[in-house]
């Protein structure tokens, strides 16, 4: 029976029950009421035919009032028991749904805390997707197992009573029924194991299918799909993915059908035993009323055994997904860091000490043996070609990714010693990809829903040139953004979103400011304004300015120029211009296009 249990079922159930204890102990009372009523309820149907046949077999002596009495008592008892067990179940099930939703909340809580590197890791989302499967359904996974744990003890009690009752009549009938049940269970486990072993392929197929599915209704892709005629490509891809997804499920069904044939044979054997023995006993003097009672009892037992086996198989099979869920929740996905608190009241010195880095699951080093120091209050411009690693460097400095080798130090302290939340609190970062949330403007700036300092939020918006726009809304800072949650939500332009992201960084007022291409979507005037206000924006703090626009390097103390091989040149603007290397060349080329009539370009050429 090695493959019956490949995970700790008992521990998994214990965890589920402990969770009930913590949240709602009253459920146990309803469970007891349900179990007693549901266990007794089926016996009314077993006894009814016997009592009726007994009375009817009296022939002319049968009394109508007796028959009416039997039927009336039957109806009153079945209705009463049915009523009580339904009430108990109807009270419990919504509470179980609440337990499951709490699990989902815990899982979201975990996901938003895991180390950022997993956010760019597809395999993490597959594992997380499987855990999500266990929590996402009303009928399977966590909630399904709770349902069965609630219902199955009643089935066990009824089954045991019927086994005892029928065992006394004929052991052979019992063995036939049990054989049938064992085979059914074996088939269920075989199919489950087959399916479980394919879970990686299934999760993978699901992720791919969901990607194409999401692409079709995500507004963000709408323009590209239309302008570049991507419709057929996406639909064809979607159709292909659906096909491979269906094929995987077809494999499972094929296995089920093949094994189902064995189940059919055992069902035939057990049915032959039941009818053969009952007919033999009746021919040899057993009353017809007993024949009828035993037949009903055997049919009930057969149904109950089947239900019991299905319930147990369900608990074992779905318990595996619940176990996976707990494993996911238990697994340490980083995100916590060390114990050190954020540095207060001081700006930062950043030192990259002989660091090397490659992204997880890749072979190519983005940086190899890189040394770089940013002193307190220094403004560093990071420039360079596309794909050189500028944004990656920001991820390393802010601790979103850990270096593969070497060390990042903040004010002399290794970055890994900081608690991650404390670490993140030290940076105001404007990322290249701006994410506006479907909250109010104020909440988008303050990144919180409580205790928003409206004066500071408006001041930050004024600094980036969005103050008047926000004041023009009737609700001001309380105006909702995006139309996903509120159809009256406002949509900002790309440049306005970028300004909002800068306002967010200003409001945070952290120890260090990092701006990753903050002006890419801004018009020339807004860009100039940001440059002019740069010193006011960073207020003497250490700052990094990543940009392709070399005009931005003018107000920075140092420039780090990166190309595909890493840090190519480092120094002040004047030093690098004198060097006449890559930075110089790039500056000349840009100057040609950016400066009025190429004036500066000409001047530089003559210099």
Question: Residue from 116, 359, 365, 555 that binds ligand ATP (CB under 6 A)?
Answer: 359
Are the C-beta atoms of 530 and 554 separated by less than 8 Å?
no
Give helix 171-197 / helix 141-169 axis angle, nearest 10°.
Answer: 160
Residue 387, interface with ligand ATP (CB under 6 A)? yes
Q: Strand pairing of 405-410 and 542-546? A: unpaired
CA 215 to chain centre: 18
Question: Residue from 139, 386, 435, 451 that binds ligand ATP (CB under 6 A)?
Answer: 386
Question: Residue from 301, 366, 481, 559 that binds ligand ATP (CB under 6 A)?
Answer: 366
Question: Residue from 388, 441, 480, 576 that binds ligand ATP (CB under 6 A)?
Answer: 388
Residue 363, interface with ligand ATP (CB under 6 A)? no
Question: Residue from 50, 189, 323, 390 that binds ligand ATP (CB under 6 A)?
Answer: 390
Binding segment for ligand ATP (CB under 6 A), chosen from 3-11, 132-140, 380-388, 593-601, is: 380-388
- 542 vs 392: CA distance, rounded Å: 19
Q: Which residue matches tokens 């609630």?
A: 150
161 or 383, CB closer to ligand ATP? Answer: 383
The stretches of 358-490 forming alpha helices (DSSP H) are 390-397, 420-424, 441-446, 454-463, 467-472
152 or 392, CB closer to ligand ATP? Answer: 392
Rounded least distance, CB 425 to ligand ATP, Å: 23
Question: Residue from 139, 362, 435, 606 that binds ligand ATP (CB under 6 A)?
Answer: 362
- 537 vs 528: CA distance, rounded Å: 13
Rounded least distance, CB 558 to ligand ATP, Å: 18
Residue 247: CB atoms within 10 Å: 11
Question: Residue from 392, 479, 552, 553 that binds ligand ATP (CB under 6 A)?
Answer: 392
Which x/- pattern over 298-337 shows residues binding ligand ATP (rule: CB under 6 A)? ----------------------------------------
Residue 120, interface with ligand ATP (CB under 6 A)? yes
- 3 vs 10: CA distance, rounded Å: 16
Give the SS3 label for residue 356: strand
Rounded least distance, CB 334 to ligand ATP, Å: 16
- 453 vs 456: CA distance, rounded Å: 5
Q: Which tokens sit at 604?
A: 């530089």
Which x/- pattern over 463-502 shows residues binding ligand ATP (rule: CB under 6 A)? ----------------------------------------
Rounded least distance, CB 388 to ligand ATP, Å: 4
Backbone φ and ψ of 201, nearest 5° = -60, -40
Q: Which tokens sit at 373?
A: 């120091």
**What is the side-by-side order of every strand in the sheet holding 512-516?**
427-430, 512-516, 542-546, 379-384, 558-563, 566-571
Binding segment for ligand ATP (CB under 6 A), chosen from 142-150, 200-208, 382-390, 499-507, is: 382-390
Note the residues at the interface with ligand ATP (CB under 6 A).
120, 359, 362, 366, 386-392
């Amino acid at each position: 029976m090695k493959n019956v249990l490949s995970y700790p079922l008992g521990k998994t159930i214990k965890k589920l029950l402990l969770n009930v204890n913590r949240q709602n102990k009253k459920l146990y009372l309803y469970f007891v009421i349900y179990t007693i009523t549901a266990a007794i309820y089926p016996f009314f149907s077993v006894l009814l035919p016997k009592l009726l046949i007994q009375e009817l077999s009296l022939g002319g002596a049968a009394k109508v009032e007796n028959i009416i009495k039997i039927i009336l008592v039957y109806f009153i008892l079945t209705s009463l028991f049915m009523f009580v067990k339904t009430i108990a179940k109807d009270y419990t099930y919504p509470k179980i749904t609440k337990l499951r939703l709490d699990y989902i909340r815990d899982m979201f809580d975990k996901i938003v805390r895991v180390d950022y590197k997993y956010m760019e890791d597809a395999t993490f989302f597959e594992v997380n997707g499987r855990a999500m499967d266990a929590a996402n359904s009303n009928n399977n996974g966590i909630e399904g197992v709770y349902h069965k744990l609630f219902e199955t003890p009643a089935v066990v009690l009824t089954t045991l009573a019927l086994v005892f009752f029928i065992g006394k009549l004929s052991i052979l009938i019992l063995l036939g029924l049990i054989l049938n049940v064992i085979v059914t269970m074996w088939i269920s486990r075989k199919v489950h194991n087959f399916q479980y072993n394919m879970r990686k392929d299934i999760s993978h197929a699901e992720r791919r299918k969901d990607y194409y599915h999401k692409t079709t209704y995500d507004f963000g892709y709408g323009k590209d799909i239309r302008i570049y005629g991507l419709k057929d490509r996406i639909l064809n891809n979607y159709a292909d993915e659906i096909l491979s997804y269906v094929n995987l499920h077809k494999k499972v069904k094929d296995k089920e059908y093949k094994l189902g044939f064995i189940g059919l044979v055992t069902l035939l054997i057990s049915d032959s035993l039941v009818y053969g023995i009952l007919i033999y006993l009746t021919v040899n003097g057993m009353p017809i009323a007993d024949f009828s009672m035993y037949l009903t009892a055997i049919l009930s037992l057969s149904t109950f055994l089947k239900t019991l086996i299905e319930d147990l198989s369900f608990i074992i099979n779905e318990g595996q997904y619940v176990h996976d869920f707990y494993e996911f929740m238990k697994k340490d996905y980083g995100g916590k860091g060390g114990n050190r608190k954020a540095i207060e009241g001081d700006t930062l010195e950043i030192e990259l000490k002989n660091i090397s880095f490659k992204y997880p699951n890749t072979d190519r080093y983005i940086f190899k043996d890189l040394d770089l120091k940013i002193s307190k209050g220094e403004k560093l411009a990071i420039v360079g070609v596309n794909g050189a690693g500028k944004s990656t460097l920001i991820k390393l400095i802010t601790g979103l990714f850990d270096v593969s080798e070497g060390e990042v130090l903040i004010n002399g302290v290794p970055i890994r010693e900081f608690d991650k939340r404390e670490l993140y609190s030290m940076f105001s970062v404007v990322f290249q990809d701006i994410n506006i949330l479907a909250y109010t403007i104020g909440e988008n700036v303050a990144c919180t829903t409580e205790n928003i300092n409206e004066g500071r939020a408006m001041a930050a918006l004024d600094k980036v040139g969005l103050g008047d726009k926000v004041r023009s809304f009737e609700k001001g800072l309380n105006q909702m953004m995006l139309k996903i949650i509120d159809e009256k939500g406002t949509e900002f332009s790309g440049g306005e979103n970028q300004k909002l992201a800068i306002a967010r960084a200003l409001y945070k007022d952290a120890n260090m400011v990092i701006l990753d291409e903050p002006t890419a979507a801004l018009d020339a005037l807004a860009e100039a304004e940001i440059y002019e206000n740069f010193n006011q924006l960073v207020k003497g703090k250490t700052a990094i300015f990543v940009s392709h626009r070399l005009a931005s390097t003018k107000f920075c103390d140092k420039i780090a120029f990166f190309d595909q091989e890493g840090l190519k040149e480092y120094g002040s603007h004047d030093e690098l211009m004198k060097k006449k290397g890559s930075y110089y060349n790039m500056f000349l080329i840009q100057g040609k296009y950016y400066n009025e009539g190429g004036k500066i370009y000409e001047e530089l050429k003559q210099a």
